[in-house]
């Protein structure tokens, strides 16, 4: 298993390089100039602009610029953010924990809600509960994320139960440790529900479909004929075989959290990497975009690696080869 993990990580290196080059190329092909905001600001001296051009080789061909970026990356330098006027590594480090926290809560919410609902709907096929959950699932998949976020913010503003945006309250620093944890948890509820709503809907439908397919298999009929308890048939025999495709989906969900949370983070003012990436792309802040892209690429590789490891443990017939 360890040899397999090392091999997968090594294979991920050229994948990251290819993603980086494509991202770098498309940012450069976009109309505009990364230093346009500096040139339009009369208070910024031309010497500073020339220093940036010389340091990052902005007047050289794209391939040459990318080569210098790779060289700096190999030495631990991700470049500077032209918009935030700070090193990219520092900007990402300030937002990383926020995105990790939101991603983990969204994943937990999605799987803890979707799996039981999907199993219930499959076991009670065509019941009223199945029909209700199917309607809710279709609504969750069809509603745009930004609409769900705005609707939830509107409802919360009417009820006044939860904070409307941000990650912490204005008096956060004066709170005790327990109160700080509770304050962050309250701010997490809205973005977690918004991100998790569509994910729960899709995963619940997939769980239902997989469970229905497995429940029709001959070995399930045989297990019931032997008199095994129904909960053992469902959770020990059926679920273990139905969950394999869902674990594969987990890898893609894990990698899609960064991009999927961008719009939600903007609407609810959550200071995460998704909102940062959207801001960087709009401003053509090329090195901040590249730093965010590396994080997204790492999430993609790690998500699929985790999914493969979980598959190997869930199904002993799968070999790590």
Q: Going by C-beta distance under 8 Å and a sequence separation of 6 or more, which residues neighbour residue 312? A: 1, 318, 319, 320
Q: Which of 42, 64, 88 is the last residue of a domain?
A: 88
CA distance 254 to 248: 10
Tell me the whole-structure pTM to 2 decimals: 0.79
45-90: per-residue pLDDT in tens? 878 878 878 877 878 888 888 898 899 888 888 888 888 888 899 9
Give me the percent of the chain exceeding a pLDDT of 70. Answer: 93
* Whether 169 and 185 share a structural domain: yes
Final residue before a domain boundary, out of 68, 88, 108:
88
Task: Examine residue 321 and state whether it is found in any structural domain, yes or no.
Answer: no
- What pLDDT score was predicted for residue 136? 86
Q: Are residues 250 and 292 in the same domain?
A: yes
- Residue identified by tokens 């520092």 is 90
Domain count, the chain: 2
Rounded distance between C-alpha atoms, residue 220 and residue 226, angstroms: 10
3-state secondary structure 79-98: CEECCCCEEHHHHHHHHHHH
Position 255 pLDDT exceeds 70 = no
Mapped onto helix, strand or coil, the DSSP state of residue 249 is helix
Residues 138-154 as b/e (b if ≥16 CB within 10 A, e otherwise) read eebeeeebeebbeebbe
Rg (CA), the chain: 24
**DSSP annotation of 161:** -
Q: Are residues 164 and 250 in the same domain?
A: yes
**pLDDT over 80 at 156, yes or no:** no
Q: Which domain holds residue 112?
A: 94-314
pLDDT computed for residue 139 by the predictor: 83
285 and 164 in a common domain: yes
CATH of the domain at 256: 1.10.3720.10
Q: In the numeric block, which tokens belong to residue 135? A: 């309607």
The Cα 248–Cα 252 span in angstroms is: 7
Q: What is the per-residue pLDDT for 258?
A: 60
Q: In sequence order, what are the residues at sequence separation of 6 or more whose Cβ sits closer than 8 angstroms to the Cβ of residue 145? A: 194, 195, 198, 260, 263, 264
pLDDT of amino acid 168: 83
Which of 56, 88, 120 is at the close of a domain?
A: 88
- The pLDDT value recorded for residue 116 is 92
114 within domain boundaries: yes
Taking the alpha carbons at both ends of the chain, their separation in whole angstroms is 9
Q: Is the pLDDT of residue 99 over 90?
A: no
**pLDDT at position 103, please?**
81
Domain check: are 59 and 107 in the same one?
Answer: no
Q: Are 155 and 293 in a shared domain?
A: yes
CB distance 289 to 277 below 8 Å: yes
As a whole number of angstroms, the distance between CA 300 and CA 251 comes to: 7
Are residues 298 and 152 part of one domain? yes
């Amino acid at each position: 298993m360890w040899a397999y993990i090392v091999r997968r990580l090594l294979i991920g290196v050229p994948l990251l390089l290819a993603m980086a080059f494509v991202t770098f190329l498309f940012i450069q092909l976009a109309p505009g100039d990364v230093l346009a905001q500096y040139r339009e600001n009369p208070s910024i001296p031309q010497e500073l602009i020339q220093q940036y051009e010389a340091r990052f080789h902005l007047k050289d061909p794209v391939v040459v610029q990318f080569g210098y970026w790779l060289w700096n990356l190999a030495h631990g330098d991700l470049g500077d953010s032209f918009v935030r006027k700070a090193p990219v590594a520092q900007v990402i480090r300030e937002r990383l924990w926020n995105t990790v926290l939101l991603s983990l809560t969204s994943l937990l919410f999605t799987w803890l809600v979707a799996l039981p609902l999907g199993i219930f709907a499959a076991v009670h096929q065509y019941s009223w509960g199945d029909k209700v959950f199917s309607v809710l699932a279709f609504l969750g998949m069809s509603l745009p994320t930004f609409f769900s976020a705005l609707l939830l913010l509107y409802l919360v503003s009417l009820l006044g139960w939860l904070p409307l945006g941000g990650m912490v309250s204005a008096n956060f620093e004066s709170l005790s440790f327990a109160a700080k944890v509770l304050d962050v948890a309250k701010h997490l509820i809205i973005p977690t529900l918004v991100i998790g709503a569509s994910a729960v809907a899709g995963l619940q439908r997939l769980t239902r479909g997989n469970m229905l397919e497995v429940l029709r298999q001959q070995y399930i009929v045989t297990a019931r004929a032997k008199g095994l308890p129904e909960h053992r048939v469902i959770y020990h025999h059926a679920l273990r075989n139905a969950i394999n495709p869902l674990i594969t989906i987990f890898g893609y969900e894990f990698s899609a959290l960064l991009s999927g949370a961008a719009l939600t983070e903007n609407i609810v003012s959550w200071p995460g990497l998704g909102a940062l990436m959207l801001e960087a792309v709009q401003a053509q802040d090329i090195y901040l975009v590249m730093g965010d892209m590396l994080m997204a690429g790492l999430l993609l590789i790690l998500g699929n690696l985790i999914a493969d490891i979980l598959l190997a443990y869930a199904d002993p017939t799968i070999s790590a080869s």
